[in-house]
Structures are given as C-alpha cells and as structure tokens.
Structure 1
Amino acid sequence: MKKCQPYLFLSLLWLFAFQLQAQPATPAWIRINQMGYAPAGVKVAVWATKNADLKINRFELVEAKSGKAVLKKKAGKSFGAYGPFTQTYRLDFSDFSTPGNYYLRVGQVRSPEFRISTEAYKGAADFALRYLRQQRSNFNPYLKDSCHTHDGYTVYGPMPQHTRLDVSGGWHDASDYLQYSTTSANATYHLLAAYRDFSKVFTDQHAANGLAGQNGVADVLDEAKWGLDWLLKMHPRADWMFNQIADDRDHAGYRLPTKDSVDYGFGKGTGRPVYFLTGEPQGLGKYKNKATGTASTAGKFASAFALAAQIYQPVDAALAQTFRTRSLSAYAYGLAKPGVGQTASVKAPYIYAEGNWVDDMQLGAAALYQLTNDPKYFEQAFQYGQQEKVTPWLGADTANHYEWYPFHNFGHYELAQKADAPSKAALISYYKEGIDRVWQKSKGNAFYHGIPFIWCSNNLTTSFAIQCYLYRQLSGDQSYAPLEQACFDWLFGLNPWGTSMVYGLPAHGDTPVDPHSSLTVLHNYPLDGGLVDGPVYGSIFGSLIGLSLRETDEYAEFQSRLAVYHDDASDYSTNEPTMDGTASLVYLLAAKEHESAQPVKAKKK
C-alpha cells in the first residue's frame, strides 16, 4: 500500500497540472485593419479583453513567414472599458515601414495576419463599384436583365396627376428598390470627384452598360454617367424637378428587382410613382414629411451637374453644355424655395429627414464658381458656408435618420480651391472645428471612435474620414491623421466585432456574408463592395419595427448596450448595404490607394 502512494501522488499532481492547463486563459483579442497598412501611414491595432484586471506591458510585431519578432514595443497606456470590453490598449507600430506579411502578438494572443504594402488598398475602389453596378435600375448588368422600365407616374406635380414620364434608370437606393434624388445626386458627385482627384487608381474593365468589356472610359466615370443620365430625367426642364421614385409600399417581401410585383395603383409592373419636388410636406398615406423647400435636393443636382460639365468639357463639349445648363437651372430651383426637401413614405414613419440645406447650396454655388468663374457664385457659396460652418452631427451623440446629409460638407473644400488666403483659412478652420469636436469624443477610447451609433453609422464614419482627408490636403496639418486612419480601420475590422463592414473586402477577411438583401436571401448572390449600415445603439435596435434575427448571432459576445452589429439578413438596421454610402466609400478608397505610395509621415496625436 505504501509503495503505491508515490504513484498516487504523482498521478494526482499530473491531474492537477492538466486541469490548470485545461483552464481557458482569460480571452483577449487583437483587432486590426484586415486590408493592411501603408508603409508610410499610421499603423495601429487594438488589444482588448473582458478582464478588467488584466494589464499588458509590451507587444511584438512578428513576420508571418519566419515567426521572427521584428519589432518589440511598449503597449502604452490603458484606455479602459469600451463596448463589450473592460480593458483596451492601442498598439501603435507606425514607425515600422518594411513591406511584408505580419501579425501582432501579446503573450499567447495573436492577431490575424495582415500586410504592410504600398498596394494594400490597390483595386479596392474599383471593387466597390461592383455593388453600384448591381444596384442599377432599368438595365441591370449583374442580372443581365431589365427592371422598372415603365417608371413612372407623376404625383404632386403641376402636370395632371399620374402623367406618364420616363424616369427609368439610376440606382436602387439600398436593398429595397426605392430611388431618391438626394442620395443619387450625392453619390454621383462622389464618383465624379473620385475620378477627378484620383483618376489613375481606376481601370477600364466594363462598358457603359456595366457589362464586361473595355470602352476607353474609366469604370468610375461610366458609373457616374449612369447617375447623371438619370438625374437629367429627374430634372428634365428648368421648372420641373422630381425627388423620388416609389415609396415604402415597396417593402413587400424578398424578390429580385426584375420580378418586382408591387402594385402602386397603376397595375403590377406597369410603373411606380415619381414624386414632384414641391418644397411642401408630402405623404400619400398616414405619414407626412416636414419639407420646407427645394434647396437641399436642388443644390445636390447643381453640384453634380456643374462638376460633370467641368469633366466632360475636354471630351464632349455638347454634353458638357447640357450639364452646365441643368446645373444653372437646378441652382435657380433651389434659390426659389430655400429649405429642405425630405423623402416621403406611406406605411411607416421612416424617411430621409434632412434638416439642413445651406451646405447643399454652398456646394452647388462652389461648383458653379469653379465652372463659370463668376464671382457672384463665390460670394453666395461663402455666405452659405458662414451659415453652417460645422455639419451639426459632428460631436453629437445622436441625430435623426439622414438629418444632416450629406454627412460631410464638400463645399468648404471645393470653395477653398480658388479662395483668397483669408477665406481659405476660414474654410479650413470650419473643418478643423468639426474634426476636433469628434476628437474630443473619441480620444478617450482605444478605437478612437467618436461617431454616434445611429442608423447608417458606417456612412457617417466614411464621410468623417473623408473630411479629415480633405482637411489635411488643404492645411497640411497631420495632427488628426491617427483619428482619420482609425475611422478607415474601423470599417475594415478594427472594431469590437473584428469584422470588415464591406462585403467581400478583403477577400481573405471576416466580412459580411448575410446582408439584408433579396439577392443574397433568395439566391446567395454576393454583394461585392457593398458598405453595410453598421452598428447602432442597442436602444435603436430594440425600437425598430419588425427587427429579429434569423440565425444564431456569431458576434454575441461582442454586443453591448453601447452598440450592436449583426451579420444577419433580417437586421436591416445594421446589415443593409446602401448605394450612397458605398459611393462615398469609393472616394475614400481611391484616396487611400492614391496616398498609400506617398512618403507622408503622420504625426501622432
């Protein structure tokens, strides 16, 4: 018996040691930008845990192929709790610039692999254009079929009610099939600006109709032209302007656009209502919007047409003249009725409730000044800019849906291009003030995230990153470069959920696979390049009509009262891609690709 005791002791000791090993370590995660990082840019990851007592001192950057640590650094200060995490740190390795494939390591915790490369973002802007082509109405190149060819029948107009008018074309707004002038004109402007500012990053792989094949025109300009052609139909003469096609009667279940069977009172498939922009409250059912004017929509038309006139002047003078004429008439249409033109609904209270318009008229006037060199447009644009120096959502905790749209004011940047020194300094200061408001909210958390978690928060994040970029271009000030990069990183995985918010980008990453879309629900078609709405406050998710999850939540452990995100087809609040958000992302991705090879050294904030 005594001879057995040592063996029993050793057995018990081995079992105890095994149990200690089997105990799971406190979980921790390292969030990265899955797209990678530019050699000369800001490079930051976030380490996070749910153990408030767990601290870290150092981290390592490890070459993926060799397993060799190429950089060892102090982790810096703790940023404490954020969202689902109780402890967070920023891991800054910006001073390392050697291209290659790497991962970060803290103890036994390692990040996914990523690359440092001048080509980290190469082709990404072109990739996002796939979603826009897929959203085309009339001829749809993805489905190789046509839809909504009978649009539409007028409502609210000065012409007889239900007058037939050809307004086919354009893009479906999101995963439904409504079409809005306000989002389409803004999207068109972003695409035109992306072509103007970063033409070399775009390729020509598609014809004008969106099918594969080269036509000697960059695909981004083809896509902008698709938007312009529709805008011409929505502003067919100086005294006519239309605000939207269809309404929320569209929300009648999953179906492909080519099989849209909703009856708006004209017969199934025979056309949809096209709303005349009156500048007064509208709504064909229980709900009425609070429109006060036409300027918010008309200003967007004016800016898109004016920029188009500048771009097409060297290659098609007649077309450029058409855009010039329509820009001038659109601007006059806005001058006639200052105020906001909101979208209209029938079944539910959800609309694009724009609350500002001077930013739209500022951009319209600035674009006309660039086009005509008429100083009256500079003066008008500058006065509009004085009325709203900072886009109101910047630094706020919440806002109504699309209340302050567009989410950044391109007008300050465009006007500053040809401004005198004092005026330029003033315009730059307006950008800086708005950026600093967000910085004050973001600097206390490891993700540097100061964007309110309202519906379409990813669109706000994209726009804010663009504003930071435009500010840097105007001022040369690199102070907010880490904040700008944090917004970009957030969209591609450096967020509490560790997922990219863009379908299929990057190809090897964790990206949405179950977006709210008939194309994926019915046929599992990919929505390549589509930017999803993004996280919302838990309180918003709990209050929206008809929201529930179809499947088990794979991100359950990362949800919090602060914000939720679900890669679930039923969650239209966080996982529905939007056309205009994706168009803004095209501009941002093009800027990042253009800049990734530049020897810019950002200062740390």
Structure 2
Amino acid sequence: MKHALIVFFLMMSVIAKSQVRMNQLGFYPNAPKVAIVVTKDSADAGFTIVSASNNKVVYNGKLSALQHSSNSSLQTRTADFSKFKTPGKYFVAVKGVENSYPFTISKNVNYVAAVASLKGYYYQRVSMPLYEKYAGKWARPAGHPDTAVLIHASAATTERPEGTVISCPGGWYDAGDYNKYIVNSGITMGTLLSAYEDFSGYFDTLKTNIPEEGNGVPDILNEVIYNLRWMLTMQDPNDGGVYNKCTNAAFDGMVMPGVTKLPRYVLQKGTAATLDFAAVTAQAARIFKKFSAQLPGLADSCEKAALAAWQWALKNPNVRYDQNAINKQFSPKITTGGYGDGRFVDEGCWAAAELFATTKDGQYLYELRKYINDPMTLPNWGNVSGLGIYTLLRNSKALDLSSSETEMLKRKVLSFANAYVEAIPSNAFKTVMGKSKADFNWGSNSNAANQGIALINAYLLSKDKKYLDAALTNLDYILGRNATGYCFLTGVGTKSTMNPHHRPSVADGIVEPVPGLLAGGPNPGRQDGCKYEFLEPETCYLDESCSYASNEIAINWNAPMVYLSNAIEALQDKL
C-alpha cells in the first residue's frame, strides 16, 4: 500500500509539470477542441495529436502566436484541433514540453463530470447513514440527527420561546462545515430546479445511484427533495417567517459528521432567508405538480409555504441577519457562516418571479415590474435576481408579460452573454472565465459555471451556437483548461483537487477526497492565511485542506456545475 501511494504521488508530481492545459476528460467529436500550452517560446512551432494506443501521429497543427495573460504573468500558445473528429484516446505532443495527459474524443465525454457533480450532493446528506451500496468506500454513519434543535434567543417568539426544541433533520451540509443555511440553499435549489426545468427530458433518465432511484421521480429531483424537506422545517408555522440557519454555535473541528454532540440552534428569521425560501418553494410547487402521484401533497405544501413566506416578507421587508449585532445581544455567540445580506431587492425579484410563474397571480407581476428594468447580473448567493429573469423567460409563453417586456428581458440576457463571448479572443486560455481579474474571488469556479449558465440561457433563447461554444469553454476551464492545470472537480480527471477543505475528506482516513465536489478555485484574497505558492489572480490556488479561501467546497458552487455540465451533455449534438 505504501509503495502504491509513493508511485501515485510521484505520478502526480510529473503531471503537475505539464504545460499543456485542457479539459482532462476530452472533447465531443464535432465540438471545438482547444488545448493551451503555457510557454515562453515564441518560435514558430507545431503540435501533434498522437494516438495513445500506438503512438502514431494522427493530426498535425500549428500553435498560435504567443499571448500574454492579463490575469497573471503566464504566456500561452493555443493548439486548436477542432477539425480532428475521430473518436479515440489521444495526447497532445509539443516539442520541448511534457506531453499532455491522455484525453478522449467521444460522445458523452463529460458524462462522468455531469453525474459526479450531482452525486456530490448525496455525500453531503445530513441525518442519514451513507451505505456502501451507494457511497462506496466513502460510506459513513449518519451525521447530525437534528431532531432536537433549540430555538436560539435571537429567534425566540411568544409561541416558540428561547430553548424550545424543534425538529429539522435532513438537508445537505452546506460546505466543508456541518451547518445548514437557508440563504445558500436558496440559490442552490433554484439552480438545480432550473436545470430540471430547462432539460427535463434529459434528467428524467439520468441515474446517479442514490437510495430513492426507481421511485418514479428523476434522481435530480430526489436529491432536491432531500434538502427541500429540511427547508420546510425551517419555516415558523406560526407566522411564515424562515430561520436563517441550523447550526452549532461554532464550527466543528476536522472530524467526521456526528462525532461532536454540541447543541444545534436555529437562528433569527430574516427577509433574505424568507424570500429565498419563498422562491424555492414556489418553483418546487410548480415542478412537483407533475409528480403528484409519487409525491402526494408535496406540491400543495410547497405552494402554501411559499405564500406564507411571501406574506411574512411583505410585513418584514427589511430584517437583516446581522450576526455581529446578534452576538452583542444574545448568547451563546454564533461564529458559523452568516450569509448576511442587507439588500433584498434581488430576493424580492426572484421570489415574485417564481410565485408569478406558479400561481399566475397578477399581484406578483405588479411587484416584478418594480425590478424588471434593473441590469442583468451574474447570480450568486447574495444577488439572485438573475434567477428570476431566467424563470420569466423560461415560462414567458404561459405568463401575462407584454411582448415588449419579454423582448426587453431577452435582449438583456443576450447582451449580457455577448459581453462574455466577445472577451474570449483576448483571454490567454480562450475561455469566458477570466474576462477580468474580478472573476477570481472566493468561489471563483462558481463564477465560471454561472457564466456558463447565462450562455446556455442565451443559446436557448436564440439557438445561436456561439453561446453554446462559449459555455463549453468554461466547462473546459473547470475541468483543466486553466492557469493552475487542475481539474477542480474531485475524483474526475488526471490531475484533480485532492485535499479540499471538507471535513469528511480530511477525517475519513481515505486518500482520495469525497468525489464530485467542486473546489472554490483561484482566490487572490487568501482570507484563510495559508501559505500560497502562487499569488496572481488566476494562479492563486492551493490544494491543501487549510485553504478554505480557494479549496473549500460548497453546495452553491456545485449547483451551477451540475447545470452547466449536464446542459452541455444534453446539448452535445448541437455543438
């Protein structure tokens, strides 16, 4: 075993020297095929595509001119072999640099990543054991039961005073920690539900080997339901407001889930959490009506919960979750993630859009028209209005939007996407990701995936292939065509993230990390204080478990990866 590990790490050391950066899985036969060579050599040079089975050259090409990256001191040359379409296993050879790792040209080439990123949620499940049949060597006992959670003083009401015991089991661990947050579940669930709405035919047959498989509900929705049922327990039945999170007072150490037995609390209700909840449950109600036989009453329960949450938000339009203020007033002090948000226009837009799409009630359209002319922005947990725009356009034929409003929203998305497409030629890695240094922040890989979603939506609206090709560049980025040379999805590719800031991956004694989890990605902010070898925006990534600023995982980062990778698989024949 020890010898095998030594060989493994020596192999990884050699791979790490590779200057050829590409999607480590490979390429679809008819799709664009690009590899990037990191080099300082400006001499005219060529590259070859070589068969991995017999070392025969099957394609000759010329490298592009040398290009300086605007996001680091790296210089690159592009190997474009899009004309080569023969299925098989190959590697790229360039004189003077290490050969690339092997890659495949085939149909369904990104299927492994698409399924893994969705299956990643199963490994984050709270309150249930993960059996070997489904989890393989990452099987583990159940984590936190969350059947006896305390009302924190910040959340106390007459009906539920401080210390009241409630039950809120299930859901997903949010990130590398063991807590559950409504705000971050909001964008996560909205993205996964939207993936299903946009590609329901594809997802209806996608299997991920989870316990619910075969119950007549698609696996992506089975996984969503596991978190949805937890979310429903986070709504106060007395007034419709939603608690911000279910959490320990402080983060657990690097131990397996359930090892610690510290008290768990639900925290203050807030406008952001409640509106995110309203949006998710309204969208869920719309989708699960289709599965009323398999899930009796769930759609109705979701719609009822959404309406109650909306009414609470109307009465409480500006309740900010401010953890610092809470800790000055109440005990115990809470030091886990805050997901504090002081601006609620975007949540209001998204919730109104989902409620309007589900109920067709004009009161929500009235609310929407307050926000409908606001600029398009890339969704993140603190700015979710873009999800509302996607929903309005997705359901435009069934909604009472004027043709001018629909066209305005369509132009907004296409203009937003065009700015990404136009930036590709000037990028040294020929991806949408890296349009500016601002792309590289905490959770930068979710920026790449969410940019891909924007481009997929532009494609669905226009059927213009340029948007689909552009979205593919960002999937290629996440899977290896980037300045670090890493595939950022655990368990996928030849050189992928091995040491994420993820408690089970650290504590389980298994060399390989839990699979299917997207690392945060390059982040020059380095908020964790770890020692980074590279400090420039696109290279500032550290594959060490201490690096929560660049190497943590999170459910809201995996969700756009699920959408992007599965959308590309669903649309591969259009590439």
CA distance in 1, matches of 2:87, 2:409: 37
The alpha carbon displacement at 1:42 in A equals 2.6
Indicate the SS of the match to 1:370: helix
Structure 1 regions of 5+ residues with no counterpart?
1-26, 262-267, 280-292, 395-401
Report the equivalent of 1:369: 356
Is the contact between residue 469 and residue 484 of structure 1 (CA under 8 Å) also seen in structure 2? Answer: yes
CA distance in 2, matches of 1:565, 1:428: 36
For 1:221-300, what aligned pairs fall within 5 Å after superposition? 221-237=221-237, 239-246=239-246, 249-261=249-261, 268=262, 271-279=263-271, 296-300=275-279
Is the contact between residue 340 and residue 354 of structure 1 (CA under 8 Å) also seen in structure 2? Answer: no
For 1:4-403, what aligned pairs fall within 5 Å after superposition? 29-49=19-39, 51=40, 54-83=42-71, 85-109=73-97, 110-141=99-130, 142-155=139-152, 156-157=154-155, 158=157, 159-196=160-197, 197=199, 198-203=202-207, 205-208=209-212, 214-237=214-237, 239-246=239-246, 249-261=249-261, 268=262, 271-279=263-271, 296-313=275-292, 315-339=294-318, 341-342=320-321, 344=323, 346=333, 351-354=338-341, 356-386=343-373, 388-391=374-377
Q: Does 1:471 align with 2:450?
A: no
Which letter does structure 2 place at the counterpart of 1:571? Answer: S
Report the equivalent of 2:390: 413
C-alpha change, 1:67 and 1:469, in structure 2 (3 Å) is: same
For 1:388-467, what aligned pairs fall within 5 Å after superposition? 388-391=374-377, 404-406=382-384, 409-419=386-396, 421-438=403-420, 443-447=425-429, 448=431, 449-450=434-435, 452-467=439-454
Is the contact between residue 83 and residue 496 of structure 1 (CA under 8 Å) also seen in structure 2? Answer: no
C-alpha change, 1:528 and 1:349, in structure 2 (3 Å) is: closer
Is the contact between residue 238 and residue 326 of structure 1 (CA under 8 Å) also seen in structure 2? Answer: no
Indicate the SS of the match to 2:173: coil
Which structure is larger by alpha-carbon Rg, 1 or 2?
Answer: 1
C-alpha change, 1:358 and 1:593, in structure 2 (3 Å) is: same
Report the equivalent of 2:483: 496
Which letter does structure 2 place at the counterpart of 1:517? Answer: H
Which letter does structure 2 place at the counterpart of 1:524? Answer: G
Q: Percent identity?
A: 24
C-alpha change, 1:122 and 1:403, in structure 2 (3 Å) is: closer
CA distance in 1, matches of 2:18, 2:336: 42
- For 1:480-530, what per-residue CA distance to the aligned partner results, in whole angstroms no more than 9, with x for missing partners? 444322211111111111111111013xx1111111122222223431101
The alpha carbon displacement at 1:33 in A equals 0.3
The alpha carbon displacement at 1:248 in A equals 7.2
C-alpha change, 1:165 and 1:336, in structure 2 (3 Å) is: same
Is the contact between residue 148 and residue 257 of structure 1 (CA under 8 Å) also seen in structure 2? Answer: no
CA distance in 1, matches of 2:357, 2:119: 31
Is the contact between residue 483 and residue 539 of structure 2 (CA under 8 Å) also seen in structure 1? Answer: no
Is the contact between residue 121 and residue 589 of structure 1 (CA under 8 Å) also seen in structure 2? Answer: yes
Report the equivalent of 1:11: none
Report the equivalent of 1:12: none
The alpha carbon displacement at 1:74 in A equals 3.3
Is the contact between residue 531 and residue 582 of structure 1 (CA under 8 Å) also seen in structure 2? Answer: yes
Which letter does structure 1 place at the counterpart of 2:291? Answer: Y
CA distance in 2, matches of 1:123, 1:334: 41
The alpha carbon displacement at 1:586 in A equals 1.6
The alpha carbon displacement at 1:233 in A equals 0.4
Is the contact between residue 42 and residue 66 of structure 2 (CA under 8 Å) also seen in structure 1? Answer: no
Q: Decide which moves more: 221-230 or 356-365.
A: 356-365
CA distance in 2, matches of 1:385, 1:339: 20
Is the contact between residue 303 and residue 363 of structure 1 (CA under 8 Å) also seen in structure 2? Answer: no
| Aligned with residue 586 of structure 1, among 550, 555, 562 | 562
Structure 2 regions of 5+ residues with no counterpart?
1-16, 131-138, 325-332, 397-401
Report the equivalent of 1:15: none
Indicate the SS of the match to 1:534: coil
The alpha carbon displacement at 1:569 in A equals 1.1
For 1:538-557, what aligned pairs fall within 5 Å after superposition? 540-541=525-526, 544-545=527-528, 547-548=529-530, 556=533
Scaled by the length of structure 1, the TM-score of the pair is 0.78
- For 1:34-89, what per-residue CA distance to the aligned partner results, in whole angstroms no more than 9, with x for missing partners? 1211223232221112x3x5344433333332433333333334322355554212
CA distance in 1, matches of 2:521, 2:93: 28
The alpha carbon displacement at 1:224 in A equals 0.7
Indicate the SS of the match to 1:530: coil
Indicate the SS of the match to 2:297: helix
Is the contact between residue 255 and residue 522 of structure 1 (CA under 8 Å) also seen in structure 2? Answer: yes
RMSD: 3.0
Which letter does structure 2 place at the counterpart of 1:381? Answer: L
CA distance in 1, matches of 2:521, 2:74: 22
Is the contact between residue 207 and residue 222 of structure 1 (CA under 8 Å) also seen in structure 2? Answer: no
CA distance in 2, matches of 1:410, 1:86: 35
- For 1:416-446, what per-residue CA distance to the aligned partner results, in whole angstroms no more than 9, with x for missing partners? 1343543332112222333344456654221
Which letter does structure 2 place at the counterpart of 1:390? Answer: M
- For 1:451-499, what per-residue CA distance to the aligned partner results, in whole angstroms no more than 9, with x for missing partners? 6211111112111111111111112233344432221111111111111
Scaled by the length of structure 2, the TM-score of the pair is 0.82
- For 1:205-244, what per-residue CA distance to the aligned partner results, in whole angstroms no more than 9, with x for missing partners? 3223xxxx74443322221111110111012526233333
The alpha carbon displacement at 1:562 in A equals 5.2
C-alpha change, 1:432 and 1:56, in structure 2 (3 Å) is: farther
Is the contact between residue 183 and residue 381 of structure 2 (CA under 8 Å) also seen in structure 1? Answer: no
CA distance in 1, matches of 2:190, 2:290: 12
Which letter does structure 2 place at the counterpart of 1:240? Answer: G
C-alpha change, 1:145 and 1:353, in structure 2 (3 Å) is: closer
C-alpha change, 1:58 and 1:335, in structure 2 (3 Å) is: farther
C-alpha change, 1:307 and 1:45, in structure 2 (3 Å) is: farther
Aligned length: 523
Instruction: Name the one with the larger helix percent.
Output: 2
CA distance in 2, matches of 1:339, 1:494: 43
C-alpha change, 1:340 and 1:238, in structure 2 (3 Å) is: same
| Aligned with residue 571 of structure 1, among 547, 562, 570 | 547
Is the contact between residue 59 and residue 74 of structure 1 (CA under 8 Å) also seen in structure 2? Answer: yes
CA distance in 2, matches of 1:44, 1:242: 47
CA distance in 2, matches of 1:349, 1:154: 16
Which letter does structure 2 place at the counterpart of 1:119? Answer: N
Report the equivalent of 1:3: none
C-alpha change, 1:371 and 1:297, in structure 2 (3 Å) is: closer
Which letter does structure 2 place at the counterpart of 1:179? Answer: K
CA distance in 1, matches of 2:289, 2:44: 55
C-alpha change, 1:422 and 1:70, in structure 2 (3 Å) is: farther
